[in-house]
Structure 1
Amino acid sequence: MGQSIRNELIRVLIASDATFLSGEEISRKVGVSRAAIWKHIEELRQEGYEIEARPRHGYRLVYRPDRVAPEEIYPHLQTVAFGREIRYLVQTDSTQIVAHQWAREGAPEGAIVIAEEQHQGRGRMGRVWHSPPQTGIWMSVILRPPIPLSHAPHLTLLASVAVRRALAKLTELPVKIKWPNDLLINGKKVCGILTELRGEQDQIHYVIVGMGINVNAQVADWPDWLKEVGTSLRHELGRPIHRASLLAEILAELEQSYQGYLERGFAPIREEWQQMAGILGEQITARTSQGSYTGIAEQLNEHGALLLRTEQGVVPVYSAEIEWQGDSSGEN
């Protein structure tokens, strides 16, 4: 109950657009006593919110700390299901681990795990994702898609299209997709997407779509190896971004893409992915568990595999490390 009061209180203060609201008006809108409003305002102040109180005028929100707590996300949500259930952690080893546990316990579709900091953030093939505190979006989304197991690779491509769309919409930066799970700006990695699932035979029990996005990281503070391959939205824009607003936009695009996929299939996702990929038409090297292949990246097939035209013919690549001349992203 206390959390829902806080959520509604912050929503009301944000909606007032920094104008004063009387304690009586806030009490009426939130649905609790003025004494309860005062108590929650004091708690918010202790967490870094600056709320001005003026006799005969009331309260107004002056400053919001950059947090991705539920009370900061909810006022911006435009979704039906995605992000409506949130587990928020100040610190965690990995949001993927927490999301797997929650999914096994019966978490609803669209539930998310979000953290301010990860100690063991996971990328593809067991790599560590650099996740410094309060600088990025470290999130895992739980899905329960009614699709065959063989279609699971579609979801990574769907997520990359949706996240790219949200980043480009809010920043107008030239975000490109690197197959299958990275987003690049000027050849450097700004986001990684990791899709994991649990299922048996041809049935999917649940899917966890994890993402790590470098939002407000100061690249100058990164280790040298990371500066060479990665970037952040703040570094590219020259200004910080409100993370909760961006997160809500990502969830809106993700839900829209997911519902469209369930209704219309993979073809629209495939087409948009190919338009936004920075790799098609380029000569690349794909290092797979079966060996390395060099050739021209042509398109995706209906299964989500990258078709590579080599001297030996067209090779479908399902999982690989991709290298090409225009890429400096490596793996973060």
Structure 2
Amino acid sequence: MSTCTDRSQLLDRDEILSHLAENSLAVDRLYVHREVNSTNLCLLEKNIDAQQLSGAVCVAEMQSAGRGRCDRIWVATPYCNVMLSASWHFELPAARLAGLSLAAAVSTIRALQDYGVGNVGLKWPNDIVWQEKKLGGLLVETRSAGQQSTLAIVGLGINVRLAEDDAALIDQPWVDLAAIIGVVDRNRLVAFIITRLHEMFREFATMGFAPFQPEWERLDVFANRWVCLQQGEHTIEGQVLGVDANGGLRVIDSLGIVKTFYTGDISLRPAT
């Protein structure tokens, strides 16, 4: 694994906080580390209750056990990228958090747009893409925090700058911010992401996925296109109709039958 040769701009807690509002929950709940096993575990292993973890953020330069969806290894050159997890305590059961990962993807796109990154889209369920190349991704974990409450942790990774030997380990088209916009102030970008995630958490707590659904569908790079979904040994082709109120992907096949798919080990690609 490579590391960035230029470490002149390390992730810095004070620098991140300088870009956040003074009343941000992250002001006293922001953890910045050189290395962790994973940023999600960094928060889950805190010996504090779920309500105190609400609004907490862990950012790291390097993960020794970072994982993406379906437990795939997350490839990221240390000291070059954004690896972040943010937690929120919801007074809702886990079943009411359907669509949270899609809402988090929308909020991440908003943060990238705030930074000046244009033409960014989404690939179901939670990939962030630029010109159909993967720029980042998200993973949501939940833990029961009582009979009717849940602790949710959104973990995300953004490719800011990938070294060539690390990029060679990625088995799909990819892109990094360095190729799109050049030099990136990671501390400022992290602050923008935190701000947008916290806004999303508050809105989702009262309104669910509904306010984010239209924007998600506008950002969907496969909207109205024919796609191939691979789920285990099964392959299904159809036209994307959008997502439902729970974030499930709606597809109509050649027979006119509408099917809805939910997150799991599903591969989505354009139909040939």
The one-letter amino acid paired with 2:238 is G
SS at match of 1:128: coil
Task: Provide the C-alpha distance between the structure 2 equivalents of 1:251 and 1:127, rounded to a whole number of angstroms.
Answer: 24
Task: Provide the C-alpha distance between the structure 1 equivalents of 2:122 and 2:209, rounded to a whole number of angstroms.
Answer: 17
Contact 2:43 2:87 in 1 (8 A): yes
Equivalent position of 2:95 in the other structure:
150
Task: Provide the C-alpha distance between the structure 2 equivalents of 1:290 and 1:82, rounded to a whole number of angstroms.
Answer: 45
Please, what TM-score do these two structures have when normalized by structure 1? 0.72
Report the alpha carbon displacement of residue 172 of structure 1 after superposing the two structures with TM.
Answer: 3.0
Which one of 189, 194, 201 corresponds to residue 134 of structure 2? 189
Which one of 303, 306, 310 corresponds to residue 246 of structure 2? 303
Contact 1:149 1:202 in 2 (8 A): no
Which one of 79, 83, 92 corresponds to residue 36 of structure 2? 92
Identity of aligned residues (%): 25
Task: Provide the C-alpha distance between the structure 1 equivalents of 2:47 and 2:90, rounded to a whole number of angstroms.
Answer: 13
Report the alpha carbon displacement of residue 262 of structure 1 after superposing the two structures with TM.
Answer: 2.7
Report the alpha carbon displacement of residue 311 of structure 1 after superposing the two structures with TM.
Answer: 3.4
Equivalent position of 1:175 in the other structure:
120
Contact 1:176 1:184 in 2 (8 A): yes
Report the alpha carbon displacement of residue 221 of structure 1 after superposing the two structures with TM.
Answer: 4.7
Query: Which deviations, in whole Å up to 9, do the C-alpha atoms of 1:244-274 show, x marking residues without a partner?
Result: 1001111111122222223433222001111
**Shift in CA distance, 231/102, structure 1 to aligned 2, threshold 3 Å:** same
Count of aligned pairs: 262
Contact 1:78 1:248 in 2 (8 A): no
Task: Provide the C-alpha distance between the structure 1 equivalents of 2:18 and 2:8, rounded to a whole number of angstroms.
Answer: 15
| Matching of residue 119 in structure 1 with residue 70 in structure 2 | no
Task: Provide the C-alpha distance between the structure 1 equivalents of 2:106 and 2:54, rounded to a whole number of angstroms.
Answer: 20
SS at match of 1:121: coil
Higher RCO structure (Cα 8 Å, ≥6 apart): 2
Contact 1:288 1:319 in 2 (8 A): no
The more displaced of 161-170 and 64-73 is 64-73
Contact 1:284 1:322 in 2 (8 A): no
**Shift in CA distance, 247/197, structure 1 to aligned 2, threshold 3 Å:** same
Task: Provide the C-alpha distance between the structure 2 equivalents of 1:200 and 1:193, rounded to a whole number of angstroms.
Answer: 22
- Structure 2 unmatched runs, 5+: 1-6
SS at match of 2:76: coil
The one-letter amino acid paired with 2:202 is Q
- Structure 1 unmatched runs, 5+: 1-63, 328-332
Report the alpha carbon displacement of residue 105 of structure 1 after superposing the two structures with TM.
Answer: 4.7
**Shift in CA distance, 125/103, structure 1 to aligned 2, threshold 3 Å:** farther
| Matching of residue 131 in structure 1 with residue 81 in structure 2 | no
Task: Provide the C-alpha distance between the structure 2 equivalents of 1:177 and 1:290, rounded to a whole number of angstroms.
Answer: 25
| Matching of residue 102 in structure 1 with residue 76 in structure 2 | no
Which one of 314, 322, 325 corresponds to residue 258 of structure 2? 314
Task: Provide the C-alpha distance between the structure 1 equivalents of 2:9 and 2:162, rounded to a whole number of angstroms.
Answer: 13
The one-letter amino acid paired with 2:225 is E
SS at match of 2:250: strand
Task: Provide the C-alpha distance between the structure 2 equivalents of 1:155 and 1:170, rounded to a whole number of angstroms.
Answer: 23
SS at match of 2:55: coil
Which one of 179, 182, 192 corresponds to residue 235 of structure 1? 179
Which one of 137, 154, 159 corresponds to residue 214 of structure 1? 159
Task: Provide the C-alpha distance between the structure 1 equivalents of 2:141 and 2:219, rounded to a whole number of angstroms.
Answer: 23
Task: Provide the C-alpha distance between the structure 1 equivalents of 2:36 and 2:145, rounded to a whole number of angstroms.
Answer: 29
| Matching of residue 72 in structure 1 with residue 15 in structure 2 | yes
Contact 2:92 2:150 in 1 (8 A): no
Task: Provide the C-alpha distance between the structure 2 equivalents of 1:264 and 1:150, rounded to a whole number of angstroms.
Answer: 14
Task: Provide the C-alpha distance between the structure 2 equivalents of 1:289 and 1:141, rounded to a whole number of angstroms.
Answer: 31
The one-letter amino acid paired with 1:188 is K
Contact 2:36 2:64 in 1 (8 A): yes
Report the alpha carbon displacement of residue 133 of structure 1 after superposing the two structures with TM.
Answer: 1.2
Equivalent position of 1:248 in the other structure:
191
Task: Provide the C-alpha distance between the structure 1 equivalents of 2:82 and 2:25, rounded to a whole number of angstroms.
Answer: 15
The more displaced of 274-283 and 75-84 is 75-84
Contact 1:216 1:240 in 2 (8 A): no
